[in-house]
Amino acid sequence: MKNLYITLTFNFLFFAALAQTPCVDGMAGPYPCDRVDLMSSLTTEEIGGAQNQCDIWGWTSSTGREFAVVCKSNGTAFVEVTDPVNPVYLGDLPTHTVNSLWRDAKVYNDHAFIVSEAPGHGMQVFDLTQLLTIENPPLVFEEDAHYPSFGNAHNIVINEETGYAYGVGTDTFMGGLHIVNIQDPLNPVIAGAYAEDGYTHDAQVVVYHGPDTDYCGQEIAFNSNEDAVTIANVTDKEDCQTISVSPYPNSAYTHQGWLSEDHRFLFVNDELDEMNGLVSTTTTFIWDVTDLDAPELIGSYAGISTSIDHNMYVKWNQIFQSNYRSGLRILNSSRAEDGELNEIGFFDCTPEDDVALFSGTWSNYPYFASGTVVMTNMYGDFLVLQPKTISAEALKTIADGVDSVVFEVYTADDEGEVVFNTNDLPEGVFAGFDAYSGVGATAITLGGLAQLDPGTYDFQIVVSIEGVDEVFDASFTISEDTLPAISADAPDSGAVTDANPVFEWTDDFNGASLLLEVSDTPNFENILFSFEVTSSPFISPNSFLAGNYFWRLSNFPVCDEDPIFSNGANFGVVIPNVSEINSNIANVYPNPSQGVVVLDVLKAGELTIVNTLGERVAKFNLQVGSQSIDLEFLSSGMYLLQFEGHSAGRLVIE
């Protein structure tokens, strides 16, 4: 279904704008709610007037001030919500051409980038820093730049890590990704396109750091393409490649999706399955994308309402969904691995019904550091909300022999006394808690796990707020199949070896490659050598100067995960005089030398000369007796001598 035309009918009810209204006994004024307070609201007329509100995004200044970017049919309103109880409407940026039901905005580098379905609209660029000095709001603003290379666009997607914007549903490239370089925000230029799977309705584009090592560090687009989830590699903007196209049963209109923060799961909504009767209640699909080439639909969540789902975003392990006539729904995704989600809070801005109509909340923005969430209501109020939700990580897998694991509790409210605890920990396991920091994550570290056998252990995380307990079921699995704790056995601490040490360790790590690092400092701040190794023992191909060294092993972590390190072991390298090290060469002179060197050789063999970088620079076949070799071609410096593979001292060329 590549073109969608919808006749809209609306039944709605206006409420007077409300000041701060806590959610008490399931209501915040006239609005049904659970764990979400209404901080304030402004009518559409109070933010410049329009036929409807649509998309919304947010911006935080360098000084921490928070602003909502509110899209409307006739332009874009800017509202400061630093004080969520007293929002300030600062002004309006009018549409570039004509009015439209659809308008979308994203933010990069202190600039808003705005598109619309209005014909010929292109992409407006607005410098948000001018909002910081307004003295007499509201104002009528002008765009600071304009990108005209597409006309209408359904949506704009921005990867803030790379500085690329992706127009989707434009009148170019079959409606696929229209890629724009916005690293210089006021001078956007086209960079490429992706149209292999046709029209893209919405997308999320990230620098990938998930478990699929084939794509670590690459720029990946997760596209909602109407009848399938399409994943594309857009690292090379001029040669984007399809990774996978994944249709699913009973699809009606694949609308939008958002990744979990660890990039393991993609949560997807279908905008027409509720209206077409393909599902009985609002449904969210859970995709396992640990293998980008073969995503797997592992479950779905059926909500309690019958409304149409729309835009949703992930913060921590919570999903913030704007589901049209059932309002903001907040889901806990800590058990996504099991194909499960559960609702932990909501705020219904259209309490009269939950029918499958295209009215109600269009979108929300949950990423302010304060925990404030802003939300649009198409034919109602602009809303400023404060969730009071709590969720906890539920599932962890660690390697056998690892002694600790960290769970996190996520809180969206910074008020009230909070106490953390655990129940049913295995004997000998103990818990430590970071200081509660209000909005955000609080770490719970379980220690004493090394004494446990492999298996799954269930326990409970208890969060008490003002004496009321919230209990979360959690578990950790100790697995023999993952990389074990790394132990470094030899050279032992204090051991003395020759210039080419032999490294040994005991575990085979299931044939996994490891990183062997050598440093001259115990904290490994200065890495001298590093080698990829697969089996023990390992003979260093580089020669070492005399001195004290430290070495360790680590795994190669997936993307940006922290590596697992062995304990460091130290060893010394001692290189005495030549006659003490290798009796087969009685003498080397002069040393230092200006180029020609005489050697008294007692046994025939091969002499290798190595520089301090471990590179072989010369090789000679020596015969018994006194003989000279010409080394004038070598640069000044110190060199290592190796006779038949063994250290034979040092030589200085002046």
Query: Does pLDDT of 163 surpass 90?
Result: yes
Percent with pLDDT over 90 in the chain: 65
- The CATH number assigned to the domain with range 488-573 reads 2.60.40.10
Closest among 255, 77, 229 to 155, alpha carbons compared? 255
Query: What was the pLDDT predicted at 1?
Result: 35
Could you give the CA distance from residue 127 to residue 142 in angstroms, rounded to a whole number? 10
pLDDT confidence tier of residue 653, bands split at 50, 70 and 90? confident
Q: Are strands 318-322 and 328-332 parallel, antiparallel or unpaired?
A: antiparallel
Average pLDDT over residues 215-221: 95
Query: Does pLDDT of 507 surpass 80?
Result: no
Whether the bond between 137 and the residue before it is cis, its omega within 30 degrees of 0, is: no
* Phi-psi label, residue 86: left if phi above 0, alpha if psi -120 to 50, beta otherwise: beta
Q: Which CATH class is domain 37-387?
A: mainly beta
Closest among 438, 386, 430 to 409, alpha carbons compared? 438
Average pLDDT over residues 18-22: 82
- The CATH number assigned to the domain with range 391-479 reads 2.60.40.10
Query: Does pLDDT of 491 surpass 60?
Result: no
Query: What was the pLDDT predicted at 142?
Result: 98
Extract the tokens encoding 431: 């818990």
Q: Are strands 569-573 and 495-497 parallel, antiparallel or unpaired?
A: parallel
Cβ–Cβ < 8 Å for 104, 61: no
Cβ–Cβ < 8 Å for 609, 641: yes
Handedness of CA 395, 397, 401, 405 (dihedral sign): negative
| 3-state secondary structure (DSSP) of residue 347 | strand
Handedness of CA 415, 416, 417, 418 (dihedral sign): negative
Cβ–Cβ < 8 Å for 463, 390: yes
CB-hemisphere CA count at 13 Å for 406?
7
Query: What was the pLDDT predicted at 569?
Result: 76
Backbone φ and ψ of 174, nearest 5°: 60, 20
Could you give the CA distance from residue 480 to residue 469 in angstroms, rounded to a whole number? 35
Average pLDDT over residues 468-477: 94
Supply the DSSP symbol for 425.
Answer: P
Same fold, 37-387 and 488-573: no
In CATH terms, 579-653 corresponds, of 3.40.109.10, 2.60.40.3080, 1.10.3720.10, 3.40.50.1970, to: 2.60.40.3080
Other beta carbons within 10 angstroms of residue 468's beta carbon come to 8
Average pLDDT over residues 454-474: 93
Query: What was the pLDDT predicted at 516?
Result: 86
pLDDT tens figures, 418-450: 899 999 999 999 999 998 888 999 999 999 998
Extract the tokens encoding 256: 């939008």
Could you give the CA distance from residue 285 to residue 274 in angstroms, rounded to a whole number? 13
Question: Residue-wise over 205-221: b if at least 16 C-beta within 10 A, else e?
Answer: bbbbbbbbeebbebbbb
Question: Residue-wise over 339-365: b if at least 16 C-beta within 10 A, else e?
Answer: bbbebbbbbbbbbeebbbbbbbbbbbb
What residue segments make up the domains of the chain, in order of their start?
A: 37-387, 391-479, 488-573, 579-653
Query: What was the pLDDT predicted at 508?
Result: 58
Could you give the CA distance from residue 268 to residue 271 in angstroms, rounded to a whole number? 10
Query: What was the pLDDT predicted at 485?
Result: 54
pLDDT tens figures, 251-310: 999 999 999 999 999 999 999 999 999 999 999 999 999 999 999 999 999 999 999 999
Could you give the CA distance from residue 573 to residue 455 in angstroms, rounded to a whole number? 44
Query: Does pLDDT of 580 surpass 70?
Result: no
Q: Tell me the pTM.
A: 0.78
Query: What was the pLDDT predicted at 582?
Result: 55
pLDDT confidence tier of residue 498, bands split at 50, 70 and 90? low
Extract the tokens encoding 643: 């006779």
Could you give the CA distance from residue 248 to residue 109 in angstroms, rounded to a whole number? 37
pLDDT confidence tier of residue 548, bands split at 50, 70 and 90? confident
Cβ–Cβ < 8 Å for 67, 76: no
Query: What was the pLDDT predicted at 6?
Result: 35
Query: Does pLDDT of 117 surpass 90?
Result: yes
Q: Is 268 exposed, middle or buried (0-12, 13-18, 19+ CB in 10 A)?
A: buried
DSSP labels for 533-556? Answer: E-SS-EE-SS---SEEEEEEEEE-
Chain-centroid distance of CA 287 in Å reads 17
Instruction: Identify which of 319-323, 502-506, 568-572, 631-635 has the greatest average pLDDT.
Output: 319-323
Cβ–Cβ < 8 Å for 481, 396: no
In sequence order, the 6+-apart residues with CB closer than 8 A to the CB of 492 are 569, 571
